[in-house]
Structure 1
Amino acid sequence: MKAQAFTTDVVSDITPALLAIGRDGFPQALIGALRRVADVGHCMVFSFAGPRSAACLLDAGNIPTGRDLGIAYSEHFHQADPNRDAVFEGQARLAPIVLPTFARRMYSDSYRKIFFDDSDIVDKFASAIWTGDTCFYVNFYRITAQGRFTRDQIARLTAVAPAVSAAVARHFQHDPAPDSDPMDRLKNVIETAAPFALLTGREKQVCLRILSGLSSEAIAAELGIGLHSTLTYRKRAYDKLGIASQNELFAIALRLVASSRPLN
């Protein structure tokens, strides 16, 4: 029961960022969600289109030199990143990758000076996801005033990493139309994508409302059914999808959205 409450909590925390996919406010919605999840100070997203190519796509938070760090990493230091091998080794995986726990000794002297000492970064957590030939590499930082991530915060970041990585990938792919509603795209995925075809109509309705951030009680009220029935539909849907949590549901749906073209 405690684990279920934990998962519900962190999924609820990131829902505003998921609903901001494809919109101008996505960077601020993302950093706001990450601060609720684990008091993340700064977030940067890089893309890799090949071993020699890197670009900084997002820089939001409390590090004043973030833009300069993004340029330095993209132009040169991505080749010296100790996470690089794990990122590229994970290219064949469909699931998001959670990178090794941060340790200063992993980095060269010049890397540590620029990216940690001069920028006041004291800790980081990172994940990545491949969509086709492009990798989206998501980095979460804390500065000295915040201290290092606690064990609980790392657990929370690990829990949301699949959904956050998939959301980032979707946001930066295909230049979605500004008036394209993210929930419409999620609804389309649930109605048409292969994994969700296994579900009944009611199970799909419950899943869509879970993705919109509603509690089981709110779903029951909106659909006009009992709470017990809502929980039963959720369990049946999860069993058919081979998952056990809301976070895994987000990961499946957003990964499918990330691999699809925006709706017209």
Structure 2
Amino acid sequence: MPVLPTFSHHVADLIRCAGSADFPASLIAMLRDMVPVDDATVIAYPGMDMPVIEYFEEPNQSGSSTLDRFVKGAFLLDPFYLTATRDNRHGVFRLRDLSPTGFRDSDYYKTWYRDSNFVDECGFIVPVGERGFVNIALGKTASRATFTKRELSTLEAIYPSVEALCQQHWTLTSSDKTGDNLRAKLHSALESFGSSLLTERETQVINLVLHGHSTKTVADKLSISMETVKLHRKHAYAKLEISSQAELFYLFLDSLMSAQDYESGDTLVAYMAPPPKRGDAR
């Protein structure tokens, strides 16, 4: 079927199912008919509440555990999330255009992207509501080439329709609750991570490393030499009792996921505190 009739048919279906549980799957079906993809995920970020997985295709055995880490805190490091929240940008983006130099060597990339066998990813960032947005992630694995210019042009051409449809659907399905500004608390946890044990500069270096920056880009952002970055990182790793970026990434996630009723400060304070001795609790 020619592209325009196919697109028109899908749009009509999406208008009819807006507000229903079938909408995310129908949306992905339309995008697949426009551009060939191997994997797709739809993640909604309602207001300042935690992310909600609206559609997910499990590519391998570890998919569910990886996704669990993502929604509980790893999303804070995601380039698409940062583009929407920090840069306030919306539209169609390619992962490689959003991620910092050295991102493919980061443990965030290895955990979320490489383990899913992604070769290339692009996605829609669609504003929904006052502060919310939806991320529609489309991935290609080793079985396909990267996204072509023509495919990206097609996705950009249909973005206005996708935006209007998504806004209609998520407006119909949104609740009136204001939430507890949970994501703001997690942002605070990320910014403060390690600050109870590290110097201010070491904390800055560790934060940039977690975001996937290379030694060079950390040096450029902080206006210090690469050797100084390496020294700060070495000292920070020693204080945190870790020896690699992988251990840093999981220490951050573990401390964040284990935090109970987090309000502010460094999550490592409670995470690294020794358990109370028997008889201490009254």
With the length of structure 2 as denominator, give the TM-score of the two structures: 0.50
Residue deviations 1:2-59 (CA, integer Å, cap 9, x gap): xxx97x46743642334332223223312211111001222222233467x5313322
User: Counterparts of 2:6 and 2:66 in 1: how far apart (Å)?
Assistant: 29
Cross-structure match for 1:110: 107
SS of equivalent to 1:58:
strand
* Corresponding position of 1:28: 25
The correspondence for 1:138, drawn from 126, 136, 149, is: 136
| d(CA) in 1 for partners of 2:76, 2:23 | 28
Question: Out of 166, 169, 175, which is 2:167 matched to?
Answer: 169
Question: Equivalents in 1 of 2:78, 2:94: separation in Å?
Answer: 12
Once residues 68 and 14 of structure 2 are traced to their aligned partners in structure 1, the CA distance between those partners, rounded to angstroms, is 25
Distance 1:167 1:76, change over 3 A: same
Change over 3 Å in CA distance of 1:118–1:147 after alignment to 2: same
Larger Rg: 2
CA contact (8 A) 2:19 2:172 kept: no
1:63 paired to 2:59: yes
Aligned to 1:213: none
SS in structure 2 of the partner of residue 118 of structure 1: helix
Q: Deviations over 1:52-106 (max 9, x none)?
A: x531332244624554443222112211112333212554x7xx43335536744
Amino acid at match of 1:151: K
Structure 2 CA distance, aligned partners of 1:25 and 1:84? 24
CA distance, structure 1, for counterparts of residue 21 and residue 66 of structure 2: 22
Q: Supply the distance in 1 between the matched residues of 2:40 and 2:15 (Cα, whole angstroms).
A: 15
Task: Specify every segment of 5 or more residues in structure 2 that has no aligned partner in the other structure, as ranges.
Answer: 175-282
Contact 2:126/2:166 (CA < 8 Å) preserved in 1?
A: no
Cα pair distance change 1:125/1:13, threshold 3 Å? farther
2:169 alignment partner, SS class: helix
Matched residue type, 2:16: L
Q: Structure 1 residues 89, 169: closer, same or farther in 2, change over 3 A? A: same
| Distance of aligned partners of 1:112 and 1:45 in 2 relative to their CA distance in 1, 3 Å threshold | same
2:70 is matched with which residue?
A: 73
Change (3 A) 1:25 1:84: closer
Q: C-alpha distance in 2, partners of 1:125/1:13?
A: 24
Among 142, 146, 149, the alignment partner of 1:148 is 146
Comparing 53-62 with 132-141, greater Cα deviation is found at: 53-62
RMSD value, Cα: 3.1
Measure, in 2, the Cα distance between the counterparts of 1:167 and 1:90.
23
Question: Match of 1:180?
Answer: none
Task: Say whether 1:54 aligns with 2:63.
Answer: no
| Counterpart Cα distance in 2 of 1:108 and 1:165 | 33
Distance 2:63 2:31 in 1: 17
Alignment partner of 1:57: what SS?
strand
**1:106/1:166 Cα in 2 relative to 1: closer, same or farther (>3 Å)?**
farther
Aligned 8 A contact 2:39 2:57 in 1: yes
Is 2:94–2:121's contact at 8 Å kept on the other side of the alignment?
no
Query: What is the aligned partner in structure 1 of residue 261 from structure 2?
Result: none
Determine whether 1:98 maps to 2:92.
yes
